[in-house]
Structure 1
Amino acid sequence: MPNIAIDGVTLEVMRNALQSIAEEMGVTLIRTALSINIKDRRDCSTAIYTPQGDLVAQAEHIPLHLGLMPTIMKAVLKAYPPNMLKPGDAIMINDPYISGSHLPDVCVFSPVFFDRELVAIVANLAHHCDIGGMAPGGMPVNATEIFQEGIRIAPVKVRKEGKLDEELVGFITNNVRTAFEFRGDMEAQLAANNVGEKRIKELAQKCGAPFIKIYMEEMLNYSERRMRARIKEMKPGVYAFEDFLEMGEADLIPIKVAIAIEDDHMTVDFTGTGGQVKGSLNCTRGVTLACVYYAVKAMTDPEIPSNGGAFRPVEVITPAGTVVNPQFPAAVSNANINTSQRITDCMLGAMAQVRPDRAMAACAGTMSLLTIGGIDPRTGTYYSYVETYGGGMGAVHNLDGMDGVHTNMTNTRNTPTEVMEMAFPLFVNKYSLIPESDGPGKYRGGLGLTREIVILDHEAHVTISTERSFTEPWGLFGGKPGRNSHCLLEQDGAVQVLPARITTVIPANSKIIYQTPGAGGMGAPWERDPQDVLRDVMEGFISVERAKTAYGVAINAATLEIEENETRKLRQEKLSA
């Protein structure tokens, strides 16, 4: 390796060059994908690695995916070390016990060679709408082992020296319900890697492969230095937090974390967390690491470049056989949806003690999954609708939480109602925010949302997976919790309550009513600016009565004006209490 002097300006130019390539890969994947889940909801991520498998650049897509990226490639290179890779190869994998995610998340990796030298590895991860298994969508809540969740793909070359292995592709698509859609999305993944390969070769043509490799390593070192500097600024000590996953009102799964900060190093210990369960809430170590990395970066310096070097100073202890590091063959599909969010809640709750200026109250705490699948009566073919729904965002120290958005470990978009009704035999009866689902506070938590879907002219296999149905999204520093989630089924005018997690068959022309959680507030509610309370009343977010009881603000319902004397009296009573 030649001796090349490193300078800050060139480092930033090279960092942005690789970041731009990763972003262009993401655009290519989204624009060429076949499924709504990728082309509309953007449930995918892209990244670039060093030849040794260290993450060096990634597009700003899904936090859960991005946090997984530093660990996946190392595992893949154990099966396919660099001497087994050739130009034109592409490796596919979805096994959670290797890749870390759940089965619908299929990863594709491609080596990039220049002058016969391995310069980099480009990669992407995309959530496919079906992966086989016992229920459409590949995320049945009643699975007790991973074999029930779908087809497992160990690291395998789906493309060899530029030639697609049609026999392998046929084997995979023969085991999924929506084969045509799977094939289309897989080819979009290959196309995205092709773009990344082309752009890196162009970069190597300009400055040479050794130059790129040296600066890749320096990018990792730079992120490590910045992270160590931020950790060193924190007060040393041990900061603990505990939260719970819901298995039933009498059966809660504790998630415990203790964060030890010493000098420029951080140890995150999940000792005391509940054991793995007979269900799909078990969270692989890879996903747990993603949650830790996200929370640490968010609470230290979000501007630190997202690469493997940033997390060298962070040690993570995940006891084997627990819900944060299960042993094979535990089912894992719904951990991404729910457990990952609770791990993040715990991390943020603990770090709020050392960085209150960056703290955020609990968000919805779930990605609120809904999958609907069956035979489309219009075409006679299988369909699979997959979507996660937004909820409330927790309030921060100087701002209200956003309403009806994805938070923390996910940031996918929604499926537009018009697109959904054209693509699937479904009718959206209602899609709106939920009034009074906020967590009261000086800064209130965000509102949850509701969607009402009618299943048209056929029975369908449905999976609902949400959280916070009886445990509440907590507030901070005097803030109050947000509203719980609620799931209902309406048939022939009768309404029944559904569990927060269920995989079942729903009769034709039934209506699913899905209501996601709100979020916690920040600071005492009676410290909220009365004008902000009035604005929420005028927007229809809260009622006149809630303004009075929760925030201590009296509003004349006829004129929608603040009654100042009554408000002062109410707030004085709050302070006296």
Structure 2
Amino acid sequence: MDPVELSLFTSRIQAVCDEMGAVLRFAAFSPNIRDRLDYSCAVFDPQGQLCGQAAHIPVHLGSMAYAMQDLVGRFDWQPGDMVIVNDPYLGGTHLPDVTLIAPVFPQGATAPAAFVANRAHHADIGAATPGSMPLTSQLADEGVLLSPQLLLRAGDIDAGVFDRILEALNNPAQAEADFRAQISANDCGRRRLGELIDARGPADFTAALAALNDYGERLARDGLRQLPDGAYDFADVMDDDGLGREDIAIRVSLKVNDGAIELDFSGTAEQVDGNINCPLSVTAAAVYYSLHCLMPARTPACAGSFRPITFTAPAGCLINANAPAAVAAGNVETSSRIVDVILGALAVAAPERIPAASQGTMNNLAMGGDGWDYYETIAGGMGAGRDGGGLDGVQTHMTNTLNTPIEIVEMQYPLRINRYSLRDGSGGGGARSGGNGLIREYTFLGATSITLLTERRRHAPWGLAGGQPGACGENWFNDTPVPPKANLTATAGDQLTLATPGGGGWGDNG
């Protein structure tokens, strides 16, 4: 394709994803989707290969890119169909992340020319505890398991499927609104992408997708060739699994060969009883994200960009768990540590290009009571790099959500936010200082069940090139310290405080 035409085509695909995201956000009812923006939208080719995505959640998009080929091959697709899935071992990540997939048929065609999909986090997916992020060893306790199945047939909702899902939830009215928002987002994407296909013609559209993926591969290889050939190793640990196991290792051996990257996670700990396990699709997301950061600016996030990357992880290990291992925290906490490990190995290869460790956790807080469920992640410090200090109070790496504004929290739930501030001095020192974490303090106005799934409370985010580590995070319930992962029960007047980790510093400041 002509370079200008290819650029315009790439932007059109991106615009479809952006518009899908806007529809999903403004049609949803829950603060988790509407305010925190915990959702992602993407476009795939007829074989389920990623063609384009919006700048949404890295762990969502990378895992969809890895798993979609298996999902689209399961169905005899018809116009108006839409599939729903959240099974972590069949293309999902963890149960609260529910994915809807829809085929796009050109006019008069009998086979799809593309697919659109969106994934959104539901604070209520029928788990054993409010917020649907329980501290458990059983996948069954984490909520409703949705194997890939048709939610819409020929444009009509399958009432039997939809009713069974809603009946299992604690707040079905809000959940139904959010599911319908996801349906609307896919309908929007299907229309917009259909217009593009019909305008170009199916054959030309398919050729343009091939050109896009070839272009992505060329850029990716050019970027990865900047790394020196060789083998680079790194290891880090998870604090704990919440059920008695501590210092759980993740190891990687990363080999660079003329712009191709091979990662081997042999030596990683076996899967554990707690819910920090993750399926291989989540590991794929962390791998793709970490290496995409080293590619040239504007490298499209498409299947072609990931062709130079291969990886393996032993079956049954922490990051390639066997069903039915519990995985609620694997998607959020373990994915963050996989990124730390990959960046640590890359820092051995190219220390001037890699930042120190960021906070390395999403500080997951799930809670609820009579008639309400809520879930949020809390930002922290970014790691510093050679060219600049780390940012304060931001989400990093595998998540890209916003905070929930205090006004929304207090208007929607029986909570008060007493304090929301930067945690001064929590960033690691160095020639470039790491970013500071946050302090967020809650007062409960009634009986509330709370689950904390946090990391970097025992092992600090590391510095690089002589920089100091960031401060570990801290959890407090009233005046009592709380371990990284915990179930708590609050009554009116109780207080919970989360002090999130700072980022590591870069360079020796002498």
Normalising by the smaller structure, the TM-score range is over 0.9
Aligned to 2:383: 394
Counterparts of 2:420 and 2:172, CA distance in 1: 30
Aligned to 1:110: 102
Which stretch has the larger CA shift, 184-193 or 7-16? 7-16
Aligned to 2:113: 119
Counterparts of 1:409 and 1:176, CA distance in 2: 27
Aligned to 2:16: 21
Q: CA deviation at 1:291?
A: 0.3
Which stretch has the larger CA shift, 505-514 or 150-159? 505-514
Q: CA deviation at 1:383?
A: 0.7
Alignment counterpart, residue 86 of structure 1, candidates 78, 81, 84: 78
Aligned to 1:425: 414
Counterparts of 1:226 and 1:506, CA distance in 2: 52
Contact 2:132 2:366 in 1 (8 A): no
Aligned to 1:184: 177
**2:253 aligns to what SS in structure 1?**
strand
Alignment counterpart, residue 475 of structure 2, candidates 487, 492, 496: 487
Q: CA deviation at 1:302?
A: 4.5
Alignment counterpart, residue 173 of structure 1, candidates 166, 185, 200: 166
Counterparts of 1:473 and 1:317, CA distance in 2: 25
Counterparts of 2:259 and 2:115, CA distance in 1: 30
Aligned to 1:99: 91
Q: Show structure 1 runs of 5+ residues with no match.
A: 1-5, 376-381, 527-577
**1:461 aligns to what SS in structure 2?**
strand
Whether 1:502 and 2:486 are equivalent positions in the alignment is yes
Counterparts of 1:352 and 1:301, CA distance in 2: 18
Q: CA deviation at 1:256?
A: 0.5
Contact 1:62 1:409 in 2 (8 A): yes
Alignment counterpart, residue 43 of structure 2, candidates 39, 45, 48: 48
Q: CA deviation at 1:250?
A: 7.8
Whether 1:201 and 2:194 are equivalent positions in the alignment is yes
Contact 1:299 1:359 in 2 (8 A): no
TM-score, normalization by structure 1: 0.86
Contact 1:100 1:285 in 2 (8 A): no
Whether 1:436 and 2:431 are equivalent positions in the alignment is no
Whether 1:129 and 2:123 are equivalent positions in the alignment is yes
Alignment counterpart, residue 368 of structure 1, candidates 339, 363, 372: 363
> What's the RMSD between the two structures over aligned residues?
1.3
Q: Where in structure 2 are the equivalents of 1:526-537 lying within 5 Å?
A: 526=510
Tell me the alpha carbon deviations over residues 476-516 of structure 1, each in whole angstroms, 9 at most, x when there is no partner. Answer: 000000111111111xxxx1111111123222321001111
Q: CA deviation at 1:25?
A: 0.6
Counterparts of 1:184 and 1:415, CA distance in 2: 19
Query: Kindly tell me: are residues 181 and 96 of structure 1, through their superposed partners in 2, closer, same or farther at Cα, counting changes over 3 Å?
Result: same
Aligned to 2:496: 512
Aligned to 2:63: 68
Counterparts of 1:218 and 1:39, CA distance in 2: 35
Whether 1:216 and 2:209 are equivalent positions in the alignment is yes
Tell me the alpha carbon deviations over residues 338-388 of structure 1, each in whole angstroms, 9 at most, x when there is no partner. Answer: 11110000111111122223211010000000111111xxxxxx1111100
Tell me the alpha carbon deviations over residues 275-300 of structure 1, each in whole angstroms, 9 at most, x when there is no partner. Answer: 10001000110000100111111123
Tell me the alpha carbon deviations over residues 304-360 of structure 1, each in whole angstroms, 9 at most, x when there is no partner. Answer: 100111111111011111101011110000012211110000111111122223211
Contact 1:41 1:412 in 2 (8 A): yes
Contact 1:104 1:137 in 2 (8 A): no
**2:188 aligns to what SS in structure 1?**
helix
How much identity, in percent, do the aligned residues show? Answer: 39
Counterparts of 1:359 and 1:230, CA distance in 2: 14
Whether 1:292 and 2:287 are equivalent positions in the alignment is yes
Q: Show structure 2 runs of 5+ residues with no match.
A: none
Computing the radius of gyration from Cα coordinates, the structure with the larger value is 1
Aligned to 2:456: 468
Whether 1:258 and 2:247 are equivalent positions in the alignment is no
Counterparts of 1:347 and 1:505, CA distance in 2: 37
Q: CA deviation at 1:438?
A: 1.2
Counterparts of 1:100 and 1:155, CA distance in 2: 10
**1:394 aligns to what SS in structure 2?**
coil
Contact 2:58 2:397 in 1 (8 A): yes
**1:370 aligns to what SS in structure 2?**
strand
Counterparts of 1:119 and 1:99, CA distance in 2: 21
Query: Kindly tell me: are residues 250 and 97 of structure 1, through their superposed partners in 2, closer, same or farther at Cα, counting changes over 3 Å?
Result: closer
Counterparts of 1:472 and 1:299, CA distance in 2: 25
Whether 1:238 and 2:226 are equivalent positions in the alignment is no
Q: CA deviation at 1:218?
A: 1.5
Counterparts of 2:457 and 2:119, CA distance in 1: 31
Counterparts of 2:456 and 2:212, CA distance in 1: 40
Q: Where in structure 2 are the equivalents of 1:33-44 lying within 5 Å?
A: 33-44=28-39
**2:356 aligns to what SS in structure 1?**
coil
Q: CA deviation at 1:231?
A: 2.3
Counterparts of 2:54 and 2:461, CA distance in 1: 30
Q: CA deviation at 1:301?
A: 2.8
Contact 1:299 1:351 in 2 (8 A): no
Q: Where in structure 2 are the equivalents of 1:337-356 lying within 5 Å?
A: 337-356=332-351
Contact 1:338 1:367 in 2 (8 A): yes
**1:139 aligns to what SS in structure 2?**
coil
TM-score, normalization by structure 2: 0.97
